[in-house]
Amino acid sequence: MSSVVMQELYAGAHSVDDKKSLDGINRSFESRGYMVTPGHDDWIGAGVILARYQRLRGEVEPKDHIHDILIVLGAARCRADLVTENAFDMERWKRMIGGTPPFRILAVRREDWRVP
């Protein structure tokens, strides 16, 4: 689990119950040592990737893409599968990293999730 994803989930919590559920998810990943948090090198790498993308493809708004890039960099560093609804953008940033350790981006759709 990426701490960037946890931040996004907490930001979208609409109730106290949502927050409590997220607290449990967060504790579960943290207690198992499965939390991936961007470090200094990830932040620098994200800036380099954004600059390269803009040179090659044109201007983008960095704030609209920084979280995705940090998530992809974390998955690459850990060689972990990245499960996302946003496979198109994640694949774009994976390609921009280039030469990364192998990892997969797996697409899911929200409507396919079944919560008992």
pLDDT digits (tens, 9 = 90+) for 6-40: 999 999 999 999 999 999 999 999 999 999 999 99
Distance CA 59, CA 70 (A): 19
Every domain of the chain and the residues it spans: 1-36, 38-116
Q: What integer pLDDT is reported at residue 99 of this predicted model?
A: 73
Exposure pattern of 14-30 as b/e (b: 16+ CB <10 Å)?
Answer: eeeeeeeeeeeebeebe
Q: Which one has a higher pLDDT value, 112 or 76?
A: 76
Strands 82-84 and 105-107: parallel
Confidence band, pLDDT 50/70/90 cuts, at residue 63: very high
DSSP string, 58-95: ----GGGTHHHHHHHHHHHHHT--EEES-HHHHHHHHH
